[in-house]
Amino acid sequence: MVRFLLLLPALLLWQCTAPSEQPRISGPNYAGEPIYTGGDRYALTQGTIDLGSKLFNDPRLSIDSSISCASCHKAEAYFSDPGKAKSAGLNGHPTERNASALNNLAWHPYFFAEGGVRTLELSTFVPINNRHEFGRELHDVVVSLNGDLEYKHAFEQAFSQSDITDALFVTAIGHYMASLTNYNSPYDRFLSGDSSALTQHEIDGLDLFNIHCIACHDGAQLSTFEIASNNLPTDADYGRMKITNNPKDSGAFKIPSLRGIALTYPYMHDGSYATLDTVLAAYNSVRQLDLSQRELDQLKAFLNTLH
């Protein structure tokens, strides 16, 4: 009893301090400020993130209750779909492209390979509307959530508003995706000043990367986020041209971040490269880099430090 009485003030104090420990989307200095920190309409809290996670993992959002976001974006591989060139959508129908990793998206200026979606919140419309993914209108999903007492309660808890709107729905998923930050790789420790975090072999790879790759894969996310073509042989895909109608943009894509790349195989928009070895061999020949096998190994060793 005495022990409990001693514990009580500590518990009360903990309760009082809890609200100030609300999560914040942030990263190390070298990553700069995130572009998205939750939007200015609704506060990002642990409650909105948890609700977004519940929605992200819920197959009942799809037309036949078979597919959730997590079906194609798997937590254990930076939310990519490892081993699948194309993911399986409704009735096993393959997706058009290889599923992207969802990694530090709060630092990305736009989304999807052709670069057509400007905000993390709006990106939720894409898979919901896709007839091979969720096969639904976003508003219909929201209408059915309003008929679900458990979700009514969860939205009320998270946003202090029990009427579930399209905006609340996409905000919750947006908050969850923004919370998927990762700055724990050996390369991150290296960038933070721990020079022993990389071996000499890996540092040699980093040096080669800085010569041959950073024109496109620069910065803390390993992408300049320009839309470009790397000219590697892949399946035909109009890419950016889908938006601009300009033939010059055919085959140009959002330059992908390389964070976690060891786990997010296979590679490229069509998933046609099974391994980093095949990617590096293709860059070596297409871009005429003239790298030796040892240098290719160094580059690969560096890429493996990104997770």
Residues that bind ligand HEC in the complex, under the rule CB under 6 A: 67, 69, 71-73, 87, 89, 95, 97-100, 102, 108, 111-113, 123-124, 127-128, 133, 173, 177, 212-213, 215-217, 228-230, 234, 253-256, 258, 261, 264, 267-269, 279, 283, 299
Vertex 196 angle, CA 195 and 202, to 5°: 90
- Taking the complex as a whole, how short is the minimal distance between the CB of residue 261 and ligand HEC, in angstroms? 5
**Residue 171 DSSP one-character state:** H
- Taking the complex as a whole, how short is the minimal distance between the CB of residue 44 and ligand HEC, in angstroms? 16
Q: Is the preceding omega at residue 266 within 30 degrees of 0, hence cis?
A: yes
- Taking the complex as a whole, how short is the minimal distance between the CB of residue 174 and ligand HEC, in angstroms? 8
Distance from the Cα of residue 117 to its chain's centroid: 14
Token pair 């919140």 is found at 121
Query: Which residues, 6+ apart, have CB-to-CB distance to 20 below 8 Å?
Result: none
Q: Which is nearer to ligand HEC, 47 or 101 (CB)?
A: 101
Burial class (CB in 10 A: 0-12, 13-18, 19+), 166: middle
Q: Which is nearer to ligand HEC, 47 or 53 (CB)?
A: 53
Q: Which is nearer to ligand HEC, 15 or 293 (CB)?
A: 293
- Taking the complex as a whole, how short is the minimal distance between the CB of residue 297 and ligand HEC, in angstroms? 12
- Taking the complex as a whole, how short is the minimal distance between the CB of residue 281 and ligand HEC, in angstroms? 11
Q: Which is nearer to ligand HEC, 193 or 267 (CB)?
A: 267
Please state, in angstroms and rounded to a whole number, the distance separating the CA atoms of residues 233 and 221: 24
Please state, in angstroms and rounded to a whole number, the distance separating the CA atoms of residues 255 and 150: 40
Asked if residues 53 and 176 have their Cβ atoms less than 8 Å apart, the reply is: yes
Residue 150 identity: E
Q: Which is nearer to ligand HEC, 18 or 232 (CB)?
A: 232
Backbone angles phi, psi at 128, to 5 degrees: -65, -45
- Taking the complex as a whole, how short is the minimal distance between the CB of residue 9 and ligand HEC, in angstroms? 43
- DSSP string spanning 82-132? TT-SS-B-GGGPBPSSPPPP--SGGG-SSBSTT--B--TTGGGHHHHH-TT
- Taking the complex as a whole, how short is the minimal distance between the CB of residue 37 and ligand HEC, in angstroms? 16
Q: Which is nearer to ligand HEC, 71 or 188 (CB)?
A: 71
Pairing label, strands 253-254, 227-228: antiparallel
Q: Which is nearer to ligand HEC, 4 or 129 (CB)?
A: 129
Structure tokens at 56: 């992200």
- Taking the complex as a whole, how short is the minimal distance between the CB of residue 159 and ligand HEC, in angstroms? 18
Q: Which is nearer to ligand HEC, 188 or 213 (CB)?
A: 213
